[in-house]
Structure 1
Amino acid sequence: MALRLPRVRDLTHPRVAVLLTAATAAVAVATGIGALANEAFARAVTPVPVVGVVNPDVRRTAAFTGTLVGFLLLLSARGLRRGSRLGRLSALAFLPFAALLGLLQSNPLSVPQIVLALVTLFAVVRNRRAFDRPSRLTGTQQATAVAVVGSQLYATLGAWVLREQFSGVETPVEAFYFALVTASTVGYGDVTPATDVARLFATSAIVIGTASFAAAAGSLLVPAIEARFATSLGTMTDRNLSLLEDHVVVAGYGDMTEPIIEELADSETEFAVVVEEPDDAAALRERDYLVYVGDPSDEDPLLAVGVERARAVVAATDDDAADALAVLTARELNPGVRIVAGASDRENVKKLKRAGADTVISPAVLGGHLLVRSALGTGGMEALAERLLDATDVRDL
């Protein structure tokens, strides 16, 4: 069965870019491990034309480096799946590197890696607008990342400066090797301090390096474990969702949703938020909000937060298409509930109305009304607010 490469029009879908990135990662890992495990076979097969140019040591280095890049591409694929901007940038950085390393391996086994990496690079670039979600790192995660990088620089530069007082440190690579194995507490023993000054420096490198690695592991693993629990259990709050009644369901979460949640909290209105991303759920849960993890356009999450007993549903994220699906589902589950939707694009107001929303508000249009009234000094804010509450379409304003 012949292998058919994706057509150009197939690459216009973001999901294809995610799948291709994951496939490139898997191929890079398999190619690198295969080359390392079967070096004798790799030398025996007919090489590609660049074999006479590439040094054997360079080929072996490219093999294990390609394996590492493959694992990093798996993380990039995970970021792309979540629409992350960081996932896109890392993929754009690692994919050309994966193709270059495949070329340096000078092995027919690496040809699929080269071709797949280039095709995937084209797919990611073509779909770059779909991967633009800002990456949210907490202050603790940012601080620990700086600590890890700083500790490695400290140990590497210190070992290089004191190389004459170490046995086994003669190059910058060996200095970095000392820093890494010291911080990870591996300590093979092939690099050792030979003087008291070097021993004191090594002691400080051990303390700083292991502490930064431990802090980084905690800041990354704890949120990941909490997110896994949130995904598995659906909600991480202590309140019982089945007791909700005459409440407001907020379907989805985004920049436009944030002020809505704050207003509901200030008014002491009981509400529940359905979010798709565990990271968003964790952030909202820290603020003591009732959160359920799931797709707001699916029936199960909306039923779990009691949409059939709700007084209102609000769908106002930054994705009008996702909001329309959430409105359709909510209307089907509770035909009598009042549904308010926000349209980030004023052209989608009619579409959200057709989906079943009672009221559709475009922040851009509403902001224009308020700015004009303020500029002309006509006031009437209270009247405008009353009209807003009674409006069934933003054009009624």
Structure 2
Amino acid sequence: MVADPSDSPAPALERLFSHGETIPLVQWHALSGARSAVILCGLVAVLSFVTGLSSLSHPTAADGPLATVIPSGSSVVPFTGVLLAFVLGGLAFGLQRRKRLAWYLTLLALLLVSLLPLTTFQTSDVPLLLSTIVAFPLLLLNRDAFDQRIELSSLQIASLSSIVGVVLYGTIGSYAIRDQFTGIDSWGDSVYYVIVTIATVGYGDITPLTTGAKWFSLSIILFGTGAFTVAIGALIVPAIEKRMATVFGNMTPSDLRLLEDHVLVLGHSDITEPLLGELGDEVDVVVVTPDADAADALSDRDFNVLTDDPTHEETLHDARIEDAAGVVVATRNDANDVLAVIAARKLNPDVRIVAAATDDQHVDKLEMVGADEVISPVEIAGRLLGQSILETPSTQSALETTDEDGS
């Protein structure tokens, strides 16, 4: 017997998360979102590296509008383009984490990258120039998407400040006693000397001539290596700990990638498991559950998981409920479901919320606190059993019957 296409669960899911009205320019919204801005910035980084390296390998006359402003553009600007390519690659990672500081720095980096094609003005520079022109306004358009602050501990702030302090100490000090060194004639020489000294490279082109200059060099080595060692420990160790937490399924809020129009599933049980199978291939899904074992299993299946209490507003904010297309509340505890619906509705008054009531008596309560639709799995299962015995199974009709009873 051939199944009727109308019996497919797709119409039911479509009905749960459809907003009723037609939203114009949906495709344009997808193309102009924050995720597209991040991808485009990564593309600019690649093009900047390729274009800058090409200009360094095959120097040509600078014919761009900025050639007269930057006389040394034929050598300095291409090298800067290569350097900025690595900077933009790191900033793209920060943008992926929605960091506001990365957004500001990326705007500045894009302006600097545009100097390369505007100086050399070669045919091979056109892709870089066009991608930069598109990336800059796209970042400005999605400014609100990059709203995460960089949270540093007091130790991390102190370690970074110590590095800056050592560099300033070495630069100013070496320039002040430059007559006691060979090879230090400018501020640039002083910066170069401090960097190679802290890195313990010591090319030998700059040499202290007096005992005081030697002690000064030793102080830079001790302070510099100490500051870098502390900074590496303060910055790298927390990242390793966070990655280990991810391996065990305990994703932190910052691990959630750029998500737009995703579905939040609050709770994980036998009720939500079939839903994940249906939605997993259609939309991005974020599961919020306090169960670490369940989070570990879901992470292995490549689902975005936030191991936390789904009734807390901070948790829902970390899960980007402001950008969610729909919310499913099914914690298997109606009291927790009520709290989760209240928190979700408060943070996003316009999002569509569908709740699963464990007890039929609590359907009205869930609707009163803000759920757009409340499904009773027990009642639906009973109706399907009745229709199956009568040889007229229909998931859609069961949902319609439940809606008519609740309306």
Shift of 1:221: 1.7
Shift of 1:346: 4.5
Residue in structure 2 matched with residue 356 of structure 1 by the alignment: 355
Shift of 1:345: 6.0
Going from structure 1 to structure 2, the CA distance change for 1:190 and 1:57 (only over 3 Å counts) comes to farther
Q: Distance in 2 between matches of 1:16 and 1:192?
A: 51
Q: Distance in 2 between matches of 1:52 and 1:320?
A: 49
Contact 1:235–1:291, Cα closer than 8 Å, also in 2: no
Tell me if 1:150 matches 2:151. no
Residue in structure 1 matched with residue 177 of structure 2 by the alignment: 162
Going from structure 1 to structure 2, the CA distance change for 1:147 and 1:347 (only over 3 Å counts) comes to closer
Going from structure 1 to structure 2, the CA distance change for 1:291 and 1:68 (only over 3 Å counts) comes to farther
Structure 2 gap segments, 5+ residues each: 1-26, 252-264, 268-287, 358-364, 372-407
Contact 2:59–2:74, Cα closer than 8 Å, also in 1: no
Q: Distance in 2 between matches of 1:166 and 1:221?
A: 36
Residue in structure 1 matched with residue 225 of structure 2 by the alignment: 210
Residue in structure 1 matched with residue 101 of structure 2 by the alignment: 86
Tell me if 1:320 matches 2:321. yes
Tell me if 1:21 matches 2:41. yes
Tell me if 1:224 matches 2:239. yes
**Residues 68-99 of structure 1: CA deviation (Å, up to 9, x unaligned):** 21111112111111111112111122111111
Shift of 1:138: 1.7
Residue in structure 2 matched with residue 122 of structure 1 by the alignment: 137
Q: Distance in 1 between matches of 2:332 and 2:345?
A: 26
Residue in structure 2 matched with residue 393 of structure 1 by the alignment: 368
Residue in structure 1 matched with residue 388 of structure 2 by the alignment: none
* TM-score scaled by length of structure 1: 0.64
Structure 1 gap segments, 5+ residues each: 1-6, 237-248, 252-270, 275-288, 359-389
| Secondary structure, counterpart of 1:136 in structure 2 | coil
Taking only aligned residues, the RMSD between alpha carbons, in angstroms, comes to 4.0
| Secondary structure, counterpart of 2:197 in structure 1 | helix
AA matched with 1:393: M
Shift of 1:350: 7.5
Q: How does 1:9-48 map to 2 (within 5 A)?
A: 12-36=32-56, 38=57, 41-43=58-60, 48=63
Contact 1:343–1:349, Cα closer than 8 Å, also in 2: no
**Residues 209-265 of structure 1: CA deviation (Å, up to 9, x unaligned):** 1111122222222222222222233249xxxxxxxxxxxx986xxxxxxxxxxxxxx
AA matched with 2:48: A
Q: Specify the structure having the higher radius of gyration (Cα).
A: 2
Going from structure 1 to structure 2, the CA distance change for 1:59 and 1:19 (only over 3 Å counts) comes to same
| Secondary structure, counterpart of 1:42 in structure 2 | coil
Going from structure 1 to structure 2, the CA distance change for 1:349 and 1:63 (only over 3 Å counts) comes to closer
AA matched with 1:355: V
**Residues 320-352 of structure 1: CA deviation (Å, up to 9, x unaligned):** 356775x52x53x85978423244764945855
**Residues 141-183 of structure 1: CA deviation (Å, up to 9, x unaligned):** 1111111111100101111111111111101011001111111
| Secondary structure, counterpart of 1:314 in structure 2 | coil
Shift of 1:67: 1.5
Shift of 1:104: 3.1
| Secondary structure, counterpart of 2:311 in structure 1 | strand
AA matched with 2:321: D
Going from structure 1 to structure 2, the CA distance change for 1:347 and 1:152 (only over 3 Å counts) comes to closer
Residue in structure 2 matched with residue 362 of structure 1 by the alignment: none
* TM-score scaled by length of structure 2: 0.62
Contact 2:67–2:73, Cα closer than 8 Å, also in 1: no
User: How much identity, in percent, do the aligned residues show?
Assistant: 30
